[in-house]
């Protein structure tokens, strides 16, 4: 929808107080980035367009945290693991009991998680600014650094100046506005589909379990979904449910089915996706009630405020992490995290196949610092699902545990850059790694601290 352009009269807008580190986007990556930057001593503001934190995990009701382990041991530790454990502690006693020892596929109670995130950012000294959308970035004359962002909210428009920016918008909005090159989707521009996740109350888990035992169907309901598709009760498409996440015996989070052809960087597409997603969810509710014992009286208490978006931009950074790095379980001198989650690319249309590529249990690859450094800009990091990788690796790196790790590293790096008065590429990576180790981040069994780190006097 573009019928030409108009030129607006130049306007002057109020300037807010300068902050050291501005984090844009309050999903898993932004929460971790902001907390890490604030704990590192930087005055930090976290700007989020919604009235709460959590990104896909709360906005779009993604029902569970992907694994924090490599099937042998926890490999995502640090802030992400602490926040998930904190959510468990804030949940009901039955929930705590059931998931006490679980680190993989832990169900999300979205209302609990929102409050946990609020508390965690406030305790760390971050200034949150919700209900605020960033729509422009102001660059220096040489276009090598960002001077701040232009936001709009109920108060009006304003400019927030800052020393450093961490783009955790999931879509790389700030990097794209700053003119950093990016790729979007596959060769033909195809994108992974979105999904409208939702919460069903008034379900009966013991009855559902008995049904699985008696019918021999899987937890993803392969047989039942195929039958419903054959009967025309569900449309053609994925022949199983992606996930049921049981928050209690009577409340379950559902991730099921796809909405195709939605580009999450276009408002028109998001609008269509929301409407189609809600229609799909309603049809699925009828399927559950009619086909799945234990769901006869299911009641949909909430669907995602936005269609869940799996992929949009991949911002070009100093290094592009590739599928070859993933398969070779490669480590890098500037690793800031490890990843073992499988490549999980969902079909681009109802006829195409899904791609899954697993690393063997106990194996992970390194996540280098350079994939968070957008080319050409000195005071900007990108963390989260839009970091610099090829499409296959994005299908793995994009999940919440990894977003926490990357955010924590970016925030820690920003605080170091502030202290030393340098850009994102001017910090000591050895010191960054040392700081992350001190924050309980795991960098791999083969990680060899540099001489500086061993002596405890990294510059």
Ligand X SMILES: Cc1cc2nc3c(=O)[nH]c(=O)nc-3n(C[C@H](O)[C@H](O)[C@H](O)COP(=O)(O)OP(=O)(O)OC[C@H]3O[C@@H](n4cnc5c(N)ncnc54)[C@H](O)[C@@H]3O)c2cc1C
* Interacting residue ranges for ligand X, rule: CB under 6 A: 24-30, 47-50, 55-57, 59-60, 62, 64-66, 133-134, 168-171, 173, 195, 197, 243, 255, 308-310, 384-385, 398-401, 403
CA dist 101 and 79 (Å) reads 18
Min dist. Cβ of residue 100 to ligand X (A): 19
CA dist 377 and 424 (Å) reads 9
For the CA atoms of 70, 115, 411, 441, the dihedral, rounded to the nearest 10 degrees, stands at: -30
Min dist. Cβ of residue 279 to ligand X (A): 16
Min dist. Cβ of residue 131 to ligand X (A): 9
CB closer to ligand X out of 244 and 458: 244
Min dist. Cβ of residue 171 to ligand X (A): 6
The whole-angstrom distance between residue 338's C-alpha and the CA centroid of its chain comes to 16
CB closer to ligand X out of 38 and 254: 254
SS3 category, 336: strand
Supply 334's token pair: 């500037």
CA dist 258 and 269 (Å) reads 14
CB closer to ligand X out of 245 and 458: 245
CB closer to ligand X out of 145 and 265: 265
CA dist 48 and 25 (Å) reads 5
CB closer to ligand X out of 168 and 432: 168
Min dist. Cβ of residue 456 to ligand X (A): 32
The answer to whether 434 touches 458, Cβ cutoff 8 Å, is yes
CA dist 170 and 307 (Å) reads 14
CB closer to ligand X out of 317 and 458: 317
> 58 Cβ partners below 8 Å, 6+ apart?
52, 108, 110, 113, 114, 117
Name the E strands within 144-284: 146-153, 156-167, 182-184, 198-201, 243-248, 251-255
Name the residue with tokens 């069994």.
445
CB closer to ligand X out of 191 and 309: 309
Min dist. Cβ of residue 158 to ligand X (A): 13
Burial 23-60 (b: 16+ CB within 10 A, else e): bbbbbbbbbbbbbbbbbbebbbbbbbbbebbbbbbbbb
CA dist 137 and 63 (Å) reads 33
Min dist. Cβ of residue 186 to ligand X (A): 17
Min dist. Cβ of residue 402 to ligand X (A): 8
CB closer to ligand X out of 57 and 294: 57
CB closer to ligand X out of 110 and 430: 110
CB closer to ligand X out of 387 and 417: 387
The whole-angstrom distance between residue 255's C-alpha and the CA centroid of its chain comes to 16
Min dist. Cβ of residue 399 to ligand X (A): 4
CB closer to ligand X out of 62 and 228: 62
Which residues partner with 199 through β-bridges?
Answer: 253, 302
Min dist. Cβ of residue 107 to ligand X (A): 10
Min dist. Cβ of residue 396 to ligand X (A): 11
Which residues partner with 195 through β-bridges?
Answer: 308
CB closer to ligand X out of 410 and 430: 410
CA dist 144 and 376 (Å) reads 6
Min dist. Cβ of residue 148 to ligand X (A): 14
Q: Quote the longest CA-to-CA distance of the chain.
A: 70
For the CA atoms of 290, 296, 301, 303, the dihedral, rounded to the nearest 10 degrees, stands at: -20
CA dist 442 and 158 (Å) reads 40
């Amino acid at each position: 929808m573009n019928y030409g352009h108009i030129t607006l009269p130049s306007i002057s807008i109020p300037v807010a107080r300068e902050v050291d580190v501005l984090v844009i986007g309050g999903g898993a990556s932004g929460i971790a980035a902001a907390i890490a930057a604030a704990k590192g001593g930087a005055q930090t503001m976290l700007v989020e367009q919604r009235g709460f934190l959590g990104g896909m995990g709360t906005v779009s009701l993604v029902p569970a945290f992907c694994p924090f382990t490599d099937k042998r041991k926890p490999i995502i530790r640090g802030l992400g693991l602490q926040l998930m454990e904190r959510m468990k502690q804030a949940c009901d006693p039955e929930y705590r009991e059931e998931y006490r020892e679980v680190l993989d596929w832990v169900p999300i109670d979205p209302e609990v998680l929102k409050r946990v995130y609020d508390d965690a950012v406030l305790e760390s000294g971050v200034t949150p600014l919700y209900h605020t959308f960033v729509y422009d970035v102001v660059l220096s004359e040489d276009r090598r650094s960002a001077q701040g962002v232009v936001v709009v909210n109920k108060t009006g428009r304003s400019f927030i100046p800052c020393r450093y920016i961490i783009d955790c918008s999931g879509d790389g909005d700030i990097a794209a506005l700053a003119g950093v090159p990016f790729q979007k989707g596959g060769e033909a521009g195809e994108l992974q589909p979105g999904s409208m996740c939702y919460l069903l109350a008034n379900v009966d888990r013991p009855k559902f379990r008995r049904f699985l035992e008696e019918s021999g169907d899987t937890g993803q309901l392969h047989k039942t979904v195929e039958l419903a598709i054959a009967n025309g009760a569900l449309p053609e498409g994925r022949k199983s449910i992606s996930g049921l996440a049981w928050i209690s015996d009577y409340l379950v989070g559902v991730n099921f089915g796809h909405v195709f052809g939605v580009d999450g960087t276009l408002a028109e597409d998001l609008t269509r996706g929301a409407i189609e997603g809600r229609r799909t969810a309603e049809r699925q509710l009828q399927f559950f009630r009619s086909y799945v014992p234990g769901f006869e009286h299911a009641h949909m208490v909430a669907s995602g405020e936005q269609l869940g978006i799996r992929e949009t931009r991949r911002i070009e950074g100093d290094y592009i992490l590739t599928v070859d790095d993933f398969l070779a379980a490669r480590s890098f001198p500037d690793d800031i995290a490890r990843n073992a989650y499988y490549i999980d690319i969902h079909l681009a249309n109802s006829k195409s196949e899904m791609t899954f590529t697993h690393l063997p249990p106990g194996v992970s690859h390194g996540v280098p610092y350079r994939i968070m450094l957008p080319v050409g800009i000195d005071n900007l990091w990108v963390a989260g699902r839009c970091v610099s990788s090829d499409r296959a690796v994005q299908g793995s790196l994009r999940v919440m545990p990894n977003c926490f790790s990357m955010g924590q590293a970016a925030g820690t790096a920003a605080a170091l850059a502030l202290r030393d008065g340098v850009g994102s590429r001017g910090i000591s990576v050895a010191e960054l790694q040392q700081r992350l180790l001190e924050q309980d981040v795991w960098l791999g069994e083969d990680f060899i601290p540099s001489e500086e780190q061993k002596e405890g006097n990294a510059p």
